[in-house]
Amino acid sequence: MWGFRVRVDLMYAKPPIWRRLVLPGDLMLDELHVVLQAAMGWQDGHLHKFGVGGDRRRRAYFVTGFDLSEGDDGVVEDSVRLDQVVSDKGERLFYDYDFGDGWEHVLVVEDVLDDPPSAPVCLTGRMACPPEDCGGLGGYEELAAWVRGGYDPRATPMGLGAQEMRDWLPRDWHPDRFSVAETNDALAVLNTR
């Protein structure tokens, strides 16, 4: 078994929002979903899917338990290991989360590790994850500008008042803040094994 060092990018975000992780190759994709939620800072309140293939229109997607309950068929993510879908530097795995807001991620293999880690670890990253249900990239950019601008009560995003917005935001959230220690604390409590 191998391990992988991967960079996970939230696609199309400017400035880039990303994490660099080391992952055991024997993680099942449903376990990887839990890892990505913790590493990026999502709250797992929405549907997701993994896909392989560069062309979005022809990408092969894995199905979740929810998809099966809805009558879909295909290869189920909890039957697929990470090292079965990526095996070499430069290979990509796509992860979509919250189909309404449309958060698209790409995992790019930066290195294949002969000595795999026993558990996922975050090495570094940049920028805070957008808050759940903020309206996709457009809503996030408006929200980030408002926070960076000092919470101007005359220019609140999403049609809410300034205090409502501050109450809605995750505690201490700032778009430019990222903590590798907090991310690793979140990863350490996962029960993916």
Distances (CA, A) of 189 to 26, 38, 121, 183, 186: 19, 9, 12, 10, 6
| Structural domains of the chain, ranges and CATH numbers in brackets | 3-127+179-188 (3.10.290.30), 130-177 (no CATH)
So what's the pLDDT on residue 193? 53
pLDDT digits (tens, 9 = 90+) for 97-113: 999 999 999 999 999 99
> CA 149, CA 143: separation in Å to the nearest integer?
10
Mean pLDDT (the chain) is 93
Report which of 35, 32, 39, 33 is spatially closest to residue 17, judged by C-alpha positions.
39
Provide the Cα torsion 77, 81, 82, 85; round to 10°: -80
Q: Is the pLDDT confidence value at 55 over 90? A: no
The pLDDT tens digits of the residues spanning 137-174 come to 999 999 999 999 999 888 888 778 888 888 899 989 99
What distance in Å separates the CA atoms of residue 94 and residue 101, rounded to the nearest whole number?
A: 16
pTM confidence score? 0.94
